[in-house]
Structures are given as C-alpha cells and as structure tokens.
Amino acid sequence: MTRVLGIETSCDETSAAVIEGVGETVELRSLVILSQDVHRVFGGVVPEIASRAHLTSLVPVAEQALREAQMDVRDLDAVAVTNGPGLVGALLVGVSFGKALAFASDLPLIGVHHMEGHLFATALEHHDAVPPFTGLLVSGGHTMLLDVEAWGRYRLLGSTRDDAAGEAFDKVAKLLGLPYPGGPHIERLAAASDPGSYRFPRPMLRRDQRPGDADYYDVSFSGLKTAVLHAVRGAGDGGHRSATSGDTALSDGDRGAIARAFQDALVETLVEKTARAAQQFGRTKVVLGGGVACNRTLVAAMQRRLADVGATVYAPSVRLATDNAAMIARAGLFHLERGERSPLDLNAYASLPLPGLVEPAAR
C-alpha cells in the first residue's frame, strides 16, 4: 500500500488530500478543500490575493488532511503537487511547500500536471472509469478532448480555439448579471427556463465535417458569447445600458431563456464532439472531468447521446470535478509507480504541456 499526500494550489482552491492504494485499487483517505470566497467580490480570481490566501491556509489545510486520514507525515510514502498549468504565484506556494515537506521528511516528490489530475479524478469514485476511454476535460481554463489509450498515453483530439467551456459560462453569467463563478448560476436558471425564441448557433459543429478536418474535434466559444451579448442588448431596453457591466435591463424571463439557449448550444457542441471521438476510436467509456462536469444537464445529455454509440459516461461528483488535491495525489501515485520522481528544483509553470501526449493519428 502506498500513501500519497496531494497538494493543489493552482487557482483559488487550497486543497490537500491523502490517498492509499496500489495500481487501480485506490482509496481516498481524506480530502480538504478550502475555497477562496474573497474573489467573488471582484467577479473573478485576483492572482495576488490567491497566492496570499494559499500562503496562510496551506499548512493548516495539509495538517487537517493528515488528521482526517489519521496519519502522520511519517506514514506517507510520497508528496504529489500540482506544478502547472495555473497561476504561477499560486502554484509556487504549493510547489514550495511540497518540496520543503519532501526534503525535510525524506519523501519522493512528484510534480503533477493539473489537467492530468482532472483526468484521474473520476476513477477515485468509479472503478470502471479507467482506460481505454474518451476523455473530455472542461474547466475554467481548459477544454480538451482526448483519446486515452492507457494512463500516461494521451491523444489530444481537440481543444478550444479561444475561451474554455467554464470561461464561457463565467463570461455569459457576467453578461446576464449573475455572480462569479457563473456555471452553477446559469445551470440553475437554465433548468427552470425555456429557450423561447432564442436559439444560438452550435459553435464549430457542422454535419459536413469529417475526421481529419481541423475543426472536427476543436471547439470555439467566443462567437457564442458574442451571440449572447447581442441577444442581451436586443432584449434590454433598446441597448441604452451597458450589457458588459452586467447592468442590463433584462427581464427575468429573457435572462432565463438566454441562459437556457446558451447552455443548450454549448452542451450540444460538447456532446456531439465527444460522441464523434468515442465512435472513431471505438471506445465504450467516456470520462468527464473539470468544473463544468458538475453540470447535470451536460452529464445527462452526454449519457443519452453516448448510449446511442454504446458508450457509458462516467462523471465525477462536484467535490472531485472542481479543483481538489485528491486527483493530484491519484495522478501522482501513477507516476510514482512508474518509478518517476521530480527533482527538488521542481518549478511552477503557468502553461505546461500535458505529459504523455502521443501523435493524434486516426485509427
């Protein structure tokens, strides 16, 4: 049994977790997530404030994770820490802590790619959510469609050309005058609304696209966001007020209808692109990850559509979909078992290529 302490500080969640296991048999022993609510005041994450908040909370959060796991540092076998991509100042707090703890306790250190962590999260809850599968990672900063042949072998099929899926939710929420982060607010509003006369184009989704076309798997959400902006202006009081400031004259009915029509367009796009990938590679499993995977409408639509191509959809619970250290510990365990170690001069990176990428050759 190997015990790994995971540390995650790439954005606005300070998190620590302990997992225990071997191979695919892994148990979550503890998970502590401290969300930095302060950013709500600013309508988005303020990097400097995030770094400072990690600095004050990381030690108690890690201590709490060990306490809940009923363990001591001496019980650990390794320390895994997110070292990119993310806010570099925020990442540095976790990386410095991880390095100091590993050095002082003579433990191996494993630097983990944040998005690879998201890919492992679902496996902590669903034992079948293991390769081979089609992976869709939808977070605030990234949108990636992957064919996962095996852990550590990732074929990147498509990604976003502009805004990430979560970013689109957050920006549209702002246009509708909803709080940050916008995803859960849009989902709630959309669930209670009818799209009415609103219908937005499905971005980068056309029937004449074929495998091998550059836009077959890629997505783009900035045009959709602009379409929402025009709808908000059109629905307001003749466009006199600034829609970008959130100071809109939208009626509750229009706000709900636009939220619903936006979510419908985004969900259908993600679902169709994922179905294409599962079909082309003959995968019978689809694994979702990242904050947008909290969206029950997305998950339900994905389950319905993927059933048509004979694939089962696995989605993480809210706690494991959004940023957390359990997924980092889980990905760290995989690398540890492969004999990998990070040096004590491990650095933090704002952008970092996903490890284990293989050529996107079609089968």
Q: Tell me which residues touch Zn ion (CB under 5 A).
A: 139, 323
20 binds ligand KG4 (CB under 6 A): no
Contact at 8 Å (CB) between 144 and 166? no
Comparison of 11 and 306: residue with beta carbon closer to ligand KG4: 11
What lies within 8 Å, CB to CB, of 178 at 6+ separation is: 185, 186, 189, 246, 259
11 binds ligand KG4 (CB under 6 A): yes
Q: Percent helix, strand and coil across the chain, each rounded to 5?
A: 45, 20, 35
Comparison of 21 and 290: residue with beta carbon closer to ligand KG4: 290
Instruction: Select from 35-43, 182-190, 248-256, 333-341 the region that touches ligand KG4 (CB under 6 A).
Output: 182-190
Whole-angstrom distance, CA of residue 77 vs CA of residue 7 = 14
Closest CA to 256 of 186, 161, 338: 186
Whole-angstrom distance, CA of residue 97 vs CA of residue 6 = 11
Closest distance to ligand KG4 from the beta carbon of 164 (Å)? 7
x/- map, 259-298, ligand KG4, by CB under 6 A: -------------------------------xxx-xx---
Binding residue for ligand KG4, selected from 117, 131, 181, 203, defined by CB under 6 A: 181
What lies within 8 Å, CB to CB, of 99 at 6+ separation is: 81, 109, 344, 346
Alpha helices in 69-182 (DSSP H): 88-105, 114-121, 165-175
Closest distance to ligand KG4 from the beta carbon of 74 (Å)? 32
x/- map, 306-325, ligand KG4, by CB under 6 A: ----------------xx--
Binding-site ranges for ligand KG4 (CB under 6 A) = 11, 139-141, 166, 169-170, 181-184, 187, 290-292, 294-295, 322-323
